[in-house]
Amino acid sequence: VEAVVEAGRGREGESYGVRLRLGEALRPPSGAAPVELTHDEVARNRGDLAWCAALADRVRALARELSRAGVGSQRSA
């Protein structure tokens, strides 16, 4: 599983969009909104263990969705 970070196209210096990819599958899928993280939110909360734990929970849930989608057996090079 790899993270795909969207930082261009009007986001530069403002926010990140994040998706997880395994093989060709994306979560959230294309066409759906990515996980949104503003620069201010990250700067304000990066040292807050509860915020980091909640973000980790969101990422793990997306990874589980990829696994349930039947692409969990694929491996990257």
pLDDT tens-digit map of 11-65: 888 999 999 999 899 999 999 999 999 999 999 999 999 999 999 999 999 999 9
User: How many other CB atoms sit within 10 Å of the CB of residue 74?
Assistant: 12
Q: What pLDDT band is residue 72 in, cutting at 50, 70 and 90? A: very low
In contact, 34 and 59? CB cutoff 8 Å = no
Among 61, 77, 73, smallest CA distance to 20 is for 61
pTM recorded for the entire structure: 0.78
Among 36, 38, 34, smallest CA distance to 46 is for 38
